[in-house]
Amino acid sequence: MKKHYLPFLGIALLASAANADAQILYANGANIHATTGSVVFINGGATVDNNTIFQNNGTVTITKNSSFPLPGTFTIDNTSVVSGDGTYRVEQDWINNATFNGGNSTAELYGNTQQFITGTQVTTFNNLTLTGTGTGNNRKKTLQGVDANTGANGLLAINDRELETQTQTFYVQNTATTAVTNNTTFGSEGFVSSTAPGTFSRVTAAAAGTYNFPTGSSVNITRYRPVDVATITGSSTYTVRFVNHDADNDGYLRATNDGMICTAIDTFYHAILRTAGASNADIKLYYIPATDANWDGMSHWRTNNNMWNDMATTTAGTSGGFSTLNRAAWAFANPGDPYILTNVRPATPVVSCPTLCANSSGNIFTVNGPGTGNGYTWTVPSNGTILSGQGSDSLYVDWTTGTGYVYVYDNGVNNCPSLTDSCQPTISPAPTAGFIDTASGGWNTDWSFIDQSTNGAVSWFWDFGDGSTSTQQNPAHTYGGSGTYTVILTVTNANGCTDTISSIITVLEGIIIPNVFSPNGDGINDEFYIANSGMNEFQLQIFDRWGVLIFETTASAIRWDGRTTSGAKCTDGTYYYLLKAISPTQDYSTTGFLTLIGSDKH
């Protein structure tokens, strides 16, 4: 092993001479200057020690082309100071145990094996660029036991590498939205990975801007799931960590939530904090539907109630091969850093209950709100019977007596129903309809109806079954023909509740022909009337003793008063009648004689 001891002050390395031998540059208390434009190759490793001052304004490349210990490693030890605006190309580890002033410099970790940023001191790089071709663990540039930064004007270029902070934090102090870049080729992205409590931190400017946190993980399965934080106003600091396993593993049980969540993703979640500032910001999560499934909501684990809480309205979008969900103007009002993708229950429907009448039919219950379009599920108590409308926004129900709750929920999508709403209808008592009927007349053609309803009936509607109706409380009705009739009474009380009752009555069929009458004006048997019921055809002709037609009618209810058709009184005597009377079932036609007496006394 060759060591180059540089004990002299003011030594300047203007250029490096090619040396095929492996080397370790060891500066022990020296002043070393790499001037602008100089190119220095160290094939082995470099250590600045014992108060060495190393100012680099050129390009220093430290390779691992050596079999010596720690090949390709740059070490700053024992109160040494490294500064300048040049480039440091390091193929292995960066170890800082003293002072590094980044200036306008660029540090490139270009190795193809896993590289570590470590030491006893936090390194604040100006620009940090990660390159290489290693895969798996050899893709990683890893913080080991120490935090690291890029400065206020610096840039972090991750390219397609993994910046692994482990339990440490990498801070980006430049407030420019472009201060962090990575390869965004779908499936080949570079990212920052962390293990709790490690994070990736960015400071935002006072002006609005969108800051990308290119987070991911290679634990078990490689996932790149970035987060965008879009600030509105005011400078703030945010930290993000991607957690590549089920939130349940960390005690953030997905089933423990505010009731608005049907399901939550079980493969990853994010830890997001606003560690400084007070402004609201938009939070956008990225996911891949093909592997992560579809989601429509975001939830936050609050440590003040120890459950997942829905973050309310989110906006869906796409970005390259990713789907996104964005929660606008998030206030970070409650403590807790876990955030997760969810399927959120649809809005709870609002059900309206009518005031019902006891023993009523066709009562309508309705849902207010747009719904998801996948229908509703209704439940009614035992005193209700669903007639129709199950699955729709309007339910038709028959109701007996007593109250009870009606429940409804939106069926939702992806087996994610809404919460249930309910209402309890007010039940108004209904009247109880009743009546008695009494028939009169030879063949029960005349009927009287007496209302016997109870419970406050204030209006009545009678249907006599022959096309005639009445709104009297106690009506009378004469039927024009024989047959069976259904009489229906509907009563209504002051609450608008109704009840109905019916009864079947029978009007008989037949005919009665008297043989004498006395039109003397005493009000008794003053007219010749053939009582009849159920006649479809009717014709009555009356002749005197000489065969002269003196009276004729085709109306079954017409009565002969003993006068001719011209109005003249007929004399006492015997008259002949000819009757044609036919019912639907029988022919009652006949002829006969009748006697008129007492006409001269009127």
Average pLDDT over residues 84-98: 98
Question: Tell me, what's the pLDDT at 482?
Answer: 83
Q: Same domain, yes or no, for 354 and 424? A: yes
Question: Tell me, what's the pLDDT at 370?
Answer: 83
Q: Same domain, yes or no, for 516 and 588? A: yes
> 435-440 and 315-319: which strand pairing?
unpaired
Q: Same domain, yes or no, for 420 and 442? A: no
Q: Residues 485-528: pLDDT tens digits?
A: 999 999 999 999 999 999 999 988 888 899 999 999 888 999 99
Domain ends where: 507, 531, 566? 507
Q: Quote the CA–CA distance of 308 and 497 in Å, as a whole number.
A: 49
Residue 354 has pLDDT above 70, yes or no: yes
Q: Per the domain annotation, does 518 fall within a domain?
A: yes
Q: Residues 209-235: pLDDT tens digits?
A: 999 999 999 999 999 999 999 998 899
Q: Per the domain annotation, does 315 fall within a domain?
A: no
Q: Same domain, yes or no, for 501 and 549? A: no
Give the mean pLDDT of the chain. Answer: 93
Residue 13 has pLDDT above 80, yes or no: no
Q: Quote the CA–CA distance of 130 and 115 in Å, as a whole number.
A: 10
Q: Residues 260-272: pLDDT tens digits?
A: 999 999 999 999 9
Residue 177 has pLDDT above 90, yes or no: yes
Burial category of 455 from C-beta neighbours within 10 Å (exposed 0-12, middle 13-18, buried 19 and up): middle
Q: Residues 531-563: pLDDT tens digits?
A: 888 888 999 999 999 999 999 999 888 799 999
Q: Per the domain annotation, does 381 fall within a domain?
A: yes
Question: Tell me, what's the pLDDT at 585?
Answer: 86
Q: Same domain, yes or no, for 597 and 519? A: yes
Which residue range is the domain that position 447 belongs to?
Answer: 435-507
Instruction: Name the pLDDT band for 4 (thresholds 50, 70, 90).
Output: very low
Average pLDDT over residues 113-130: 99
Question: Tell me, what's the pLDDT at 502?
Answer: 97
Question: Tell me, what's the pLDDT at 8?
Answer: 33
Burial category of 232 from C-beta neighbours within 10 Å (exposed 0-12, middle 13-18, buried 19 and up): middle
Strand locations in 390-482 (E)? 394-399, 406-410, 421-423, 427-428, 435-440, 446-451, 457-463, 469-470, 476-478
Token couple for 11 = 């030594």
Residue 294 has pLDDT above 70, yes or no: yes
Domain ends where: 462, 489, 507? 507
Question: Tell me, what's the pLDDT at 169?
Answer: 99
Question: Tell me, what's the pLDDT at 444?
Answer: 83
Residue 375 has pLDDT above 80, yes or no: yes
* 215 DSSP assignment: B
Instruction: Name the pLDDT band for 5 (thresholds 50, 70, 90).
Output: very low
> Which CATH number characterizes residue 454's domain?
2.60.40.10
Q: Per the domain annotation, does 284 fall within a domain?
A: no
Q: Per the domain annotation, does 171 fall within a domain?
A: no
Q: Residues 386-440: pLDDT tens digits?
A: 999 999 999 999 999 999 999 999 999 888 999 999 999 999 999 999 999 999 8
Q: How many domains does the chain have?
A: 3
Q: pLDDT higher for 17 or 51? A: 51
Question: Tell me, what's the pLDDT at 121?
Answer: 98
Instruction: Name the pLDDT band for 65 (thresholds 50, 70, 90).
Output: confident
Percent of the chain beyond pLDDT 70?
Answer: 96
- The residue among 391, 395, 350, 342 whose CA lies nearest residue 370 is 350
Residue 17 has pLDDT above 70, yes or no: no
Q: Per the domain annotation, does 581 fall within a domain?
A: yes
Residue 15 has pLDDT above 60, yes or no: no
Q: pLDDT higher for 532 or 312? A: 312
Q: Per the domain annotation, does 49 fall within a domain?
A: no
Q: Per the domain annotation, does 168 fall within a domain?
A: no
Q: Quote the CA–CA distance of 142 and 58 in Å, as a whole number.
A: 26
Residue 303 has pLDDT above 90, yes or no: yes
Q: Same domain, yes or no, for 461 and 540? A: no
Q: Same domain, yes or no, for 500 and 514? A: no
Q: Same domain, yes or no, for 522 and 583? A: yes
Element (H, E) at 351: strand 350-352
> Which CATH number characterizes residue 577's domain?
2.60.40
Token couple for 389 = 């409308």
Residues 6+ apart with CB under 8 A from 68: 1, 22, 24, 44, 45
Average pLDDT over residues 236-254: 98
Q: Quote the CA–CA distance of 52 and 61 in Å, as a whole number.
A: 19
Strand locations in 251-305 (E)? 261-264, 269-276, 281-287, 297-302
Provide the residue type at 361 as one letter. S
Q: Same domain, yes or no, for 549 and 583? A: yes
Domain ends where: 454, 476, 507? 507
Q: Same domain, yes or no, for 420 and 447? A: no
